[in-house]
Each structure stands twice: as structure tokens, then as C-alpha cells.
Chain A
Amino acid sequence: GAVVSQHPSRVICKSGTSVKIECRSLDFQATTMFWYRQFPKKSLMLMATSNEGSKATYEQGVEKDKFLINHASLTLSTLTVTSAHPEDSSFYICSASEALAGGPSTDTQYFGPGTRLTVL
């Protein structure tokens, strides 16, 4: 159980275009989904936290107008990189957690396989 899918796995786009990445929890309802960015040989950097049906909470320094996050259902969250530029090229990875009785500190996050974005 606890499978998270992410689509596409790899995308190459031209500068100025927008790219949408989907994150789905396949066998559980994800009350919270998270979007991370990872640079080569670096750790994961949290971009935003999204709860189903409400606006995403962005981390400091992350442009909410550039990285649009929608969490329309308990199994789907999308990240849209708008007007992409070469510096947006990165590995984007989502995770999902199912709220448990113990509270946030016990929620295990399950990660999708990631999306490698290359902006030309």
C-alpha cells in the first residue's frame, strides 16, 4: 500500500511555456500533499504544503504565482510551473500523507517517483 504516482516522469520544454505535474495517491486518501524540489546532489527543499480544498502554504522564497498548486481532491495534487525558465530546471518530487490519529508528527510521507524538468 501507500503508493504515490507522479506524471510525467520527465519533461523537456521551451522557455516561456508552462508545465503541469500531477501527483496521485493511488491507494489511500491524502489529506496533505507536499511538493519538493531537489537540485543535483542536494537534499530535498520543501516548496509548499497543500491540503485538499484549501490554498497551498508556500515556503519562504517560493513564488506562488510561478509555482501554482492545486489540490482538488483527496487523491490528486498538481504543480504548474508557469512561464518556465532554464533556472527552473530541476527534479520535482511530491509526497502524500494520510492523517493518522497520532497527529502530524506520526504521519509518514510517501513519495512519488519524481519529475525531471528540463527547460531549454
Chain B
Amino acid sequence: AQKITQTQPGMFVQEKEAVTLDCTYDTSDQSYGLFWYKQPSSGEMIFLIYQGSYDEQNATEGRYSLNFQKARKSANLVISASQLGDSAMYFCAFSGNTPLVFGKGTRLSVIA
């Protein structure tokens, strides 16, 4: 079974600084996808970024980038120039031959 691990229950970052949220996964699937979602206090899940297992380049979407290290099975999310509005729960998710599996999440707090 797929397993996805987010080891940081909570993180703090200073406004305008960059922050890395960790995510590791365990799978024997050859083809898979990794997703990051943001969940603010309102509860909605907002899709941020996607990385395919065969993508040669790390995914980037605006201030979000994914540091994908396939051999280490890690897919860390990097948020650059943090903003107060970035404070939220962040979930890493894995999709392979099974439905999406979520990590436990990391609560990011951006400090002014």
C-alpha cells in the first residue's frame, strides 16, 4: 500500500522568507503523481502543484515549486517569499494505481 509521510506537524516562517515543507512517499508503482494542496481555515482544498514521476524537471507554479528527488522518494514543497495569506494546512498527496492518498498535513504559520 502507498504510504505518504509529512514529518512536520507545524512550521513557522517569517513573512517574505522561503519555507520548505517535507513530504516523503513509499511506493512500488512505476507511474505516479504527487500533489500538494492548501487548506485554509475555511476548509476548502486548493490545488497548488503537481509532479509526475516521469517529469524530468521540478514543477513550478508561481511562488510554489516542488523539489522532487525520485531516488529519495521525496517531494518537498518550497514556498518562496511567504505571505501572511499562506498560513494554512498543507497536504501532500500521492496518486498511483490507487486513489489519492493524503499525508497528515503540515500547519504553516507565517509571521509578520
Residues of A participating in the B interface, judged by any CB pair closer than 8 Å? 2, 34, 38, 42-44, 46, 49, 91, 93, 95, 102-114, 116
Give the size of the chain B interface in residues (CB under 8 angstroms): 26
Contact among B42, B46, B50, B102 for A43, CB-based, below 8 A: B102
Residues of B within 8 A of A46 (CB): 99-101
A-B contact pairs, 10 of them (CB 8 A): A38-B43, A43-B102, A93-B43, A102-B52, A106-B33, A106-B50, A107-B33, A107-B95, A110-B47, A113-B42
A23 to chain B, nearest CB (A): 13
Minimum C-beta distance from B57 to chain A (A): 15
Take A43-B91, A104-B97 as given contacts and tell me if A114 and B43 are in contact as well, using a CB distance cutoff of 8 Å. yes
| B residues apposed to A, CB below 8 Å | 29, 31-33, 35, 37, 42-47, 50, 52-53, 91, 95-97, 99-105
Alpha-carbon distance A44/B33, docked complex (angstroms): 18
Give the shortest distance, in Å, between A102 (CB) and chain B (any CB): 7
State A107–B46 Cα separation when bound (angstroms): 15
Contact (Cβ within 8 A) B44 A111: yes
By the criterion CB–CB under 8 Å, are A108 and B50 in contact? Answer: yes
Contacts of A2 in B (CB 8 A): 47
A7 to B38, CA, bound (A): 21
Taking a contact as CB atoms under 8 Å apart, the answer to whether B91 and A44 are in contact is yes
